[in-house]
């Protein structure tokens, strides 16, 4: 019996034809210059293929294609938005878009886009395969957070961060981390191209419930922001470090649970304690604190964005104190003991001796009436021993003043010991108060330095010590100036008082030069440019009279004038001052020398690059590389440095 061929109606034929037209390309077919070789991933509405580009260059790429034969408006919009978002993001941890288009008839075209092929695995599988250490797993999380931070800086929230969307390649010594799949990203600025309000539609379920923040689980779309991605990264850390999602069931059980139940579990999830989740006591402390902060139920208690999380992970990796530590944990003091265990070992011995001596003295005071002179002599010797132990922590050639935030607790400790044992009026106590105030200044804690300076100044005034009054006014004025324009008028008056005294002396002092330069900076805050230049010139003349040729004080003053002229657009004159500051200068003299050398050399290169740009000529590649190296070094040392802002393209 012969089968009767099926002859569809015209309407059915058109339907079949439309469906055929809408069928997405498959393996073996071509999209533009790319031949699809292998399907490497598939979602609900799209697929990713490994593809081969034959012309104009031969290479392997990844092509993502919308596969839904009849996509809804939301699906099509999200695919288009993902393409737009990826096209705008530029970061080593985000795979860039290299091509995009549509394939098929104009009335039924299938959108696609191409990216470089990343030969990696999901973060959890990679960590297991290479048997990654805890340090490597933390590094993977840090690098993923850096990539997400780049999206946050562009006003983009990923909303579906999970191990499967963090691809890792390379070796444990050099993991290559890429964040992928921005298909459900939220655009914080509705005016951004590709933003159409879809991302803020109330009730929309986007993301994977097991990695959702409480606000996502509650479908509070308006509250979803960068901190929601931070929460998801914290849960990713739980998987990589502890092996599971807090409160979640196994993969098979998860897939069978109703969506409403999965969302409620996300909304009600308590902040995880990784050391308990992993049953690993060694995770207690800093790692517990970082993940607890990232996964706080309260949005405001989390890291503000992924960059802040990455910064804290970097501090942990580099042995720096983390910001996630509870304020009442005594962490700062404990950290100082751990960070400086060598120098502090001696301090601990000295402090133990002090405490022991104090107890001994107090217990025998009434019985033996030890003389005050002998008591003070013993205490002074003990304090001197402790002070000597601090020497390895102090800035070079700066007495006991420290330049490191981590050493501040030790200086505070010495000050409190002096107050307790000798009283606030003792000379040693006053000296330690000055050391502490200057140390606060060195690490930009100006509000804490101010009351110490004022107390010291009041005492110098009461005792009629005019030289000390001038010096303390110089220090206080500089500290107030660094607080900004709101304290400029007060700083100006205090510095003028110091200069008025020093002008009565036959010869200038080094502090006089510093006060003149501080006075110039105050004029800059007040936008009095002629006055600023006058005080800079006076400061330069002062340093030439008080410091030898090549001394760092002379170089600093010349560099400040170079900064002033560069900011005014007088590049020729600025080059002269920067050149004089750099003449015969070894950047390896000390940390301060390296900082100034890089700053001034960077300014020279930046001005040359700006002039080349304005002239429409290409800047020398070798000098561009030198400039970028200086920028990278400065960013690592001081990411808030103002030079980085004006050097930015």
Res 255: pLDDT: 58
User: CA-to-CA distance for 517 and 539, rounded, in angstroms?
Assistant: 5
67 pLDDT more than 80: no
Here the tokens at position 276 are 């308990």
Res 562: pLDDT: 95
328 pLDDT more than 80: no
CB atoms within 10 A of CB 359: 10
Res 402: pLDDT: 66
The 10s digit of each residue's pLDDT in 568-579 is 999 999 999 999
58 pLDDT more than 50: yes
Q: Is 301 or 396 the better-scoring residue by pLDDT?
A: 301
CB atoms within 10 A of CB 257: 15
| Cα-based angle 453, 466, 504 (whole degrees, multiple of 5) | 125
Instruction: Please provide the average confidence, as pLDDT, over all residues in the chain.
Output: 79
Res 166: pLDDT: 95
DSSP codes joined into one string, 125-151: HHHHHTT--HHHHHHHHHHHHHHHHHH
507 pLDDT more than 70: yes
- Confidence label for 404 from pLDDT (cuts 50, 70 and 90): low
Average pLDDT over residues 544-561: 91
In terms of Cα–Cα distance, which of 8, 533, 636, 610 is closest to 314? Answer: 636
Percent of the chain with pLDDT over 90: 35
Strands (E), 308-380: none
The 10s digit of each residue's pLDDT in 329-345 is 445 544 544 444 444 44
466 pLDDT more than 70: yes
- Confidence label for 627 from pLDDT (cuts 50, 70 and 90): very high
Res 622: pLDDT: 93
The 10s digit of each residue's pLDDT in 198-218 is 343 333 567 788 999 999 888
Average pLDDT over residues 290-317: 92
DSSP codes joined into one string, 487-518: GHHHHHHHHHHHHHHHTTSSS--HHHHHHHHH
123 pLDDT more than 90: yes
Res 588: pLDDT: 62
108 pLDDT more than 80: no
Q: Is 50 or 339 the better-scoring residue by pLDDT?
A: 50
């Amino acid at each position: 019996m012969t089968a009767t061929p099926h002859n569809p109606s015209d309407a059915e034929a058109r339907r079949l034809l439309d469906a055929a037209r809408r069928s997405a390309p498959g393996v073996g077919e071509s999209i533009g210059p790319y031949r699809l070789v292998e399907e490497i991933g598939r979602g609900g509405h799209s697929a990713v293929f490994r593809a081969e580009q034959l012309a104009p260059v031969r290479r392997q790429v990844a092509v993502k294609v919308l596969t839904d034969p009849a996509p809804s408006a939301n699906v099509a919009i999200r695919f288009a938005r993902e393409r737009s978002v990826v096209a705008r993001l530029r970061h080593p941890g985000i795979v860039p878009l290299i091509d995009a288009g549509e394939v098929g008839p104009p009335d039924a075209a299938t959108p696609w886009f191409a990216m470089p092929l990343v030969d990696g695995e999901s973060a959890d599988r990679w960590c297991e395969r290479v048997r990654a250490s805890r340090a490597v797993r933390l590094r993977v999380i840090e690098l993923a957070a850096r990539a997400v931070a780049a999206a946050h800086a562009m006003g983009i929230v990923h909303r579906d961060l999970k191990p499967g969307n963090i691809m890792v390649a390379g070796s444990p010594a050099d993991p290559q981390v890429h964040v992928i799949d921005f298909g459900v990203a939220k655009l914080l600025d509705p005016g951004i191209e590709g933003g159409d309000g879809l991302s803020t539609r109330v009730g929309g379920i986007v993301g994977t419930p097991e990695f959702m923040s409480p606000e996502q689980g509650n479908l509070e779309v308006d509250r979803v922001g960068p901190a929601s991605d931070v929460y998801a990264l914290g849960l990713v850390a739980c998987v990589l470090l502890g092996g599971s999602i807090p409160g979640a069931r196994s993969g098979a059980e998860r897939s069978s649970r109703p969506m409403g139940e999965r969302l409620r579990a996300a909304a009600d999830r308590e902040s995880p304690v990784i050391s308990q989740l992993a049953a690993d006591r060694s995770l207690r402390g800093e790692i517990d604190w970082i993940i607890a902060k990232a996964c706080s139920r309260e949005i405001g208690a989390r890291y503000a964005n992924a960059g802040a999380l990455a910064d804290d992970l970097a501090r942990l990796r580099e042995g720096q104190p983390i910001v996630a530590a509870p304020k009442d944990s005594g962490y700062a003091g404990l950290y100082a003991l751990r960070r400086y265990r060598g120098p502090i070992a001696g301090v601990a011995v000295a402090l133990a001796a002090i405490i022991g001596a104090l107890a001994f003295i107090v217990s025998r005071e009434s019985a033996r009436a030890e003389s005050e002179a002998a008591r003070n002599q013993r205490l002074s010797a003990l304090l001197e021993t402790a002070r000597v132990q601090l020497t390895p922590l102090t800035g070079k050639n700066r007495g006991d003043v420290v330049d490191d935030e981590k050493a501040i607790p030790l200086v505070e400790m010495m000050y409190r010991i002096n107050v307790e044992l000798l009283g606030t009026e003792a000379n040693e106590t006053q000296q330690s108060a000055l050391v502490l105030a200057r140390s606060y200044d060195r690490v930009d804690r100006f509000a804490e330095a101010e009351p110490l300076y004022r107390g010291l100044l009041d005492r110098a005034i009461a005792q009629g010590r005019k030289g000390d009054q001038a010096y303390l006014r110089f220090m206080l004025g500089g500290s107030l100036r660094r607080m900004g324009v709101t304290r400029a008028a007060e700083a100006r008056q205090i510095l003028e008082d110091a200069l008025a005294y020093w002008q009565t002396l036959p010869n200038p002092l080094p502090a006089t030069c510093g006060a003149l330069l501080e006075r110039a900076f105050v004029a800059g805050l007040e936008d009095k440019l002629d006055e600023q230049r006058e005080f800079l010139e006076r400061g330069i003349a002062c340093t030439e009279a008080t410091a030898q040729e090549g001394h760092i004080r002379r170089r600093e003053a010349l560099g400040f004038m170079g900064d002033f002229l560069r900011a005014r657009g007088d590049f020729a004159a600025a080059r002269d001052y920067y050149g004089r500051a750099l003449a015969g200068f070894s950047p390896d003299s000390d940390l301060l020398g390296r900082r100034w050398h890089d700053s001034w050399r960077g300014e020279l290169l930046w001005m040359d690059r700006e002039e080349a740009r304005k002239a429409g000529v290409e800047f020398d590649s070798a000098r561009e590389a030198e400039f970028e190296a200086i920028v990278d070094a400065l960013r690592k040392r001081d990411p808030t440095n103002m030079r980085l802002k004006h050097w930015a393209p």
